[in-house]
Amino acid sequence: MYYPCPVCGYGQMTEPPENYNICPSCGTEFGYHDLSTSHRSLRNKWLANGAKWFSFATPKPDIYWNGFVQVTGAGLPYDVPAPSDSFKEVEVTVPGSDTPEMTQPCQSR
Ligand SMILES: [Zn+2]
């Protein structure tokens, strides 16, 4: 049996969102994080931080997983702007990704 996360819309929590269970998607610990903060506020905070997958033990549903798409697909409201270009720039920072494109094929044979 799966339970939906009321914060991020992740639909495959194996435990209900209560009793200190933690959503593998957004990392909300239910009964703790949502004690004094509304689910909507937690959602906004998660999205504002880039909507990153939380769990190391549970893999993302698929490699194209996107937190914003998940929230939108679940029909959950949020109050932060959708990812902008500057937003993406932070996520795409991969060390050592500067491929040497200046390498010319050897033509002096
Ligand atoms: Zn969640």
Write out pLDDT tens, residues 40-90: 999 999 999 999 999 999 999 999 999 999 999 999 999 988 665 444 444
pLDDT at 39: 98
Tokens of 71: 């929230």
pLDDT at 93: 46
Neighbours of ion ligand 1 (CB under 5 A): 5, 7-8, 10, 23, 25-26
Write out pLDDT tens, residues 10-43: 999 999 999 999 999 999 999 999 999 999 999 9
72 or 94, which is more confident: 72
What residues does each domain of the chain span?
A: 1-78
Cα(78) to ligand 1 centroid in Å equals 13
Cα(94) to ligand 1 centroid in Å equals 26
Q: Using a CB cutoff of 8 Å and minimum separation of 24, what contacts does 62-70 make?
A: 67/8, 67/25, 67/26, 70/8, 70/9, 70/10, 70/25
Is the pLDDT confidence value at 94 over 80? no
Cα(81) to ligand 1 centroid in Å equals 19
